[in-house]
Amino acid sequence: MSRVATLVCDPSRPVLTGELVARAINALTNAARPQWLAPGIAVDIAFDLALPECARTVMDRFRAALDGAPVDVFVQLQRGRRKKLLLADMDSTMIGQECIDELAGEIGKRAEIAAITERAMRGEIAFEPALRERVAQLKGVDLATISGVIANRITLAPGGRALVQTMRKNGAYTALISGGFSIFTAAIASRLGFDEHQANELLFDECGKTNGLAAEPVLGRQAKLAALLNLRERLGLCAEETLAVGDGANDLSMLEAAGLGVAFRAKPKVAAAAHARIDHGDLTALLYAQGFRHEEFVNGDDA
């Protein structure tokens, strides 16, 4: 069996039944016996892919067979499933918020800044000028306000710490790559246990307040791709050994260049282009997609 389909649901709502698995198997003509990775949550189904079908076509067949059940589907080669490099977006991926929108909320500008964020993440406007425009509106925010946002407004996405810690335990290198700000990525990378982080730099005046500028060049879509390629070269890895996850248009080049690029609760344009997508599960779906069983997880508090 050269391919494997992994079905995953939200672990807080374990709806993956034997009946659903049987319906998925019936969408194939040559499937092996299912192997449960976590009862009610994740299962592997090995099969041979009939040419000229592609993985995306098979995923669509599975989704049709599941008939709207809240289950995510991954289809990939059996060989090389476990990745040696993880690159993850931060905002709305490893955390539940957009940091820049949370800062804007502190100064009464959430609506106008969040609208720009949404358009940039959908790919309707270029990321770099959109970031500069939003940062200009944050002029005058002090470090105490930023620290308060980090402490009180930012929540970790469920499953994130288990994802990072389990991959690191199994020899992978992990990097948090964000179009947000390093003052946030430093805190989040530390809490989740990433090996490194890269992000944009907010600039401050002599009074410790933002001066309305970000350091150039702005880290956007091409910079995220460059980070992936640079880390691959530095670690001596091939494309197939890499995993990337994100939700916005500025993640697309990174997702497309990874061995497995996954859209997480993503904007439509991103979900359509990524190799796979997570619409229902949490970030531990990325572990199940690599064939990890639940008992192999390094569990951590994602609060």
Asked if 139 and 212 count as a contact pair (C-beta separation under 8 A), the reply is: yes
pLDDT digits (tens, 9 = 90+) for 7-21: 999 999 999 999 999
Host domain of residue 89: 82-303
Residues 68 and 89 in one domain: no
Task: Provide the residue-wise pLDDT of the chain in tens; the chain has 303 residues.
Answer: 589 999 999 999 999 999 999 999 998 878 899 999 999 999 999 998 765 567 788 888 889 999 999 999 999 999 999 999 999 999 999 999 999 999 999 999 999 999 999 999 999 999 999 999 999 999 999 999 999 999 999 999 999 999 999 999 999 999 999 999 999 999 999 999 999 999 999 999 999 999 999 999 999 999 999 999 999 999 999 999 999 999 999 999 999 999 999 999 998 999 999 999 999 999 999 999 999 999 999 986 554
pLDDT digits (tens, 9 = 90+) for 176-197: 999 999 999 999 999 999 999 9
- Closest listed residue to residue 122, CA positions, set 278, 290, 288, 272: 272
Residue 279 among the catalytic residues: no
What CATH number is attached to the domain comprising 188? 3.40.50.1000
pLDDT confidence of residue 51: 58
Determine how β-strand 210-214 pairs with β-strand 202-204.
antiparallel
* Whole-number Cα distances in Å, 89 to 2, 144, 207: 30, 25, 31
Residue 91 among the catalytic residues: yes
Residues 133 and 74 in one domain: no
Residues 212 and 91 in one domain: yes
The residue annotated as part of the active site, out of 89, 101, 247, 302, is 89
What CATH number is attached to the domain comprising 4? 3.30.70.260
pLDDT digits (tens, 9 = 90+) for 215-228: 999 999 999 999 99
* Domain end (from 32, 63, 79): 79
Residues 252 and 104 in one domain: yes
Residues 156 and 194 in one domain: yes
Consecutive H or E run containing 107: none
* Domain end (from 64, 79, 94): 79
The residue annotated as part of the active site, out of 44, 91, 251, 282, is 91
The number of distinct structural domains making up the chain is: 2
Asked if 184 and 199 count as a contact pair (C-beta separation under 8 A), the reply is: yes
